[in-house]
Amino acid sequence: MRIALGLEYDGRAFAGWQTQPHGNTVQDKLNAALSQIAGHPVVTLAAGRTDAGVHALMQVVHFETQAQRQLGAWVRGVNALLPSSVAVVWAQEVGDDFHARFSAFSRSYRYFLLTHPVRPALTAGRVGWYHQPLDVAAMRAAAQVLLGQHDFSSFRASECQAKSPLKHLQQLDIVEERGLIRFDLTADAFLHHMVRNIVGTLLYVGKGSLDVAGVQALLAARDRSKAPPTFMPDGLYLTGVGYPPQFGLPSEAQPERLTLWG
């Protein structure tokens, strides 16, 4: 039997998604909890890896099991064994043709950036922070340059293992509300650190260190060394994974789970 799960987690306490020898990753904690419920070792496969400090409102994984359990056991039972900062939100049986990573045709991320002279305390680790106002109109203009299919090598971490730097960025919206700047991004897939590098570049535009022509030149250069530094992970959330309709899976976080952030 193949089971798909939707997860949310606060990434502050973990060294990212991917399993590590020290065991302090979201995947390690989830595999351990699932193995207890299944009564045999379980290994999960995810739609995408998130870095240390990055959060998820909709991560999708799948795993194989011989155990016959009610779907509720894969939600409430597993949650009883997980740290409080990780939760299974839904579970669904899927066919053998489903793969959490390879069946996905899109991923969506959201980044929250607080611009304020004083660093945040209550939302520390949950929003990015910059100490000065930013020109959001200039950032929106520069964002248009990045839409479409491009070689995103200038926005790719040196340790990125993707076979190709070509990605199709379908959405890059920037909204300012409630004292936060929100970036909404959707692409067929993202390179390692791609979202954080895009946000960092647009921040440079917002503070006047880059203009639209500079972003165009950076994209054309295909050279990570020419780009601004990778921005902090704190405000980054995986918010949705798109799958073909035949699988019948949610494509984004349930609205009631988004109440905190709108």
Residues with active-site annotation: 51
Maximum Cα–Cα distance across the chain = 59
* Inter-residue contact 110 to 29 (CB < 8 Å): no
Query: Strands 86-94 and 45-46: what pairing?
Result: unpaired
∠ CA 191-192-195, rounded to 5°: 75
Classify each residue of 159-183 as buried b or exposed e, where b means 16 or more C-beta atoms within 10 Å of its C-beta. Answer: ebeeeebebebeebebeeeeebbbb
* Inter-residue contact 210 to 204 (CB < 8 Å): yes
CA of 202: how far to CAs of 139, 155, 206, 207, 252, in Å? 6, 12, 6, 9, 25
- Give the phi and the psi of residue 206 in degrees, each rounded to 5: -65, -30
* Inter-residue contact 104 to 242 (CB < 8 Å): yes
∠ CA 28-259-247, rounded to 5°: 55
Residues 6+ apart with CB under 8 A from 100: 4, 45, 46, 47, 60, 61, 62, 241
Cα separation, 252 vs 262, whole angstroms: 13
Does an H or E element contain 128, and which?
A: strand 128-130
